[in-house]
Amino acid sequence: MPIDEHLKARGLAMGSICFLCIDDEESSQHIFFMCRFAKAIWRGLQAQLECNLDSSSISNLLIISDSLSPLPKEVMIACILNAISTIWFCKNQARFNDTDITHTQAMAKIRADIAFIGNFSKLYAKNSRTEFNLLRAFGIKGKYIKAPTITEVLWKTPSFGLVKVNSDGAAHGNSNGDLMGCFASYFSIQNSIYVELLAAIMVVSIAHAKGWRSIWLECDSKVVVDIFQGSKLVPWRLSNLMNKCRHLLNSMQFMVSHIFIQGNVCANKLATFGVNSKIDSWWNSMPTFLYDDFYRNRNLLPNYRFRNL
């Protein structure tokens, strides 16, 4: 940084004075933290932000509370960086252009810059008074996190004669809610759509091999549901298997639906088992790790989906 302190450190014999206060020599510590002008800026920002700023060093200034949500946090960081840049600008104006900028004018420039940054940000703020005040102080129209919602997610038993197959790793049950079998497979490292769709295709081929001709496929991947309904394209690596699957479905009664992951817990646990064990497994009776969730579904006890908490 081209200031007197550094020029002197390189051996230049020179007199030095801070052009902002005409009180002390020009050093980075003085200009940004000790100078009357800088102190007035940090005090002004403290009043605007309604919080204490430790203006003894840049690293202390940048210690920002983790309890703030992303938008106020971004505004705080922008304030500090903008204040540093504005102090530097004012110092240069005083020294090289003989133009004095008052700290009130400097604060107005910082506020205008922060309002511009904040209003273009896509981040969100919490619905709290502190964050509302902070954003309003800089004229920022914040986007606030939506109100929390709780959705009841219920696993439904299929009607008589229909076999319901939940896929993710895949679990199978009939209209009494009995377990007819379940499997977990390991597909090596793949992307999520590939794994979800391959699991669903395997479900159909196993159901066909076992002679279940009426099946209800339920899956927590909306993309897989769309692919089976024909509204989304099949990933090319699975197009051959999907064609064979469609051929099997021609001889079956088939319906497909989406369920939130909270209603697909058994299939999800089987998928996790497949990933961890890295082997293919089939169970004719209930694996112990599914007991609680299976009977919860069978007894029609709800699960809950929380959003924006």
Chain positions contacting Zn ion, by CB under 5 A: 18, 20-21, 35
CB of 109 to Zn ion, least distance (A): 19
**Strand runs labelled E in 158-260:** 163-167, 171-173, 179-184, 214-219, 253-258
Q: Which is nearer to Zn ion, 18 or 137 (CB)?
A: 18
For residues 157 and 164, the answer to whether their CB atoms sit within 8 Å is yes
For residue 99, the tally of other CB atoms under 10 A from its CB is 10
Instruction: Give Cα separations from 232 to 60, 229, 260 (angstroms).
Output: 52, 8, 19
For residues 166 and 257, the answer to whether their CB atoms sit within 8 Å is no
Q: Which is nearer to Zn ion, 41 or 266 (CB)?
A: 41
Q: Which is nearer to Zn ion, 26 or 74 (CB)?
A: 26
Sign of CA dihedral 19, 25, 31, 35: negative
Written as one letter, the residue type at 91 is K
169 backbone dihedrals φ, ψ, rounded to 5°? -125, -35
CB of 17 to Zn ion, least distance (A): 8
CB of 115 to Zn ion, least distance (A): 28
Name the residue among 116, 121, 169 with its Cα closest to residue 142: 121
Q: Which is nearer to Zn ion, 17 or 47 (CB)?
A: 17
Q: Which is nearer to Zn ion, 28 or 121 (CB)?
A: 28
Token couple for 209: 């091999």
| Distant-in-sequence, close-in-space partners of 309: CB < 8 Å, separation ≥ 6 | 148
Q: Which is nearer to Zn ion, 55 or 185 (CB)?
A: 55
Written as one letter, the residue type at 43 is R
Q: Which is nearer to Zn ion, 86 or 268 (CB)?
A: 86
CB of 117 to Zn ion, least distance (A): 27
Sign of CA dihedral 188, 192, 194, 199: positive
Give the distance, in angstroms, between the CA of residue 102 and the centroid of all CA atoms in the same chain: 42
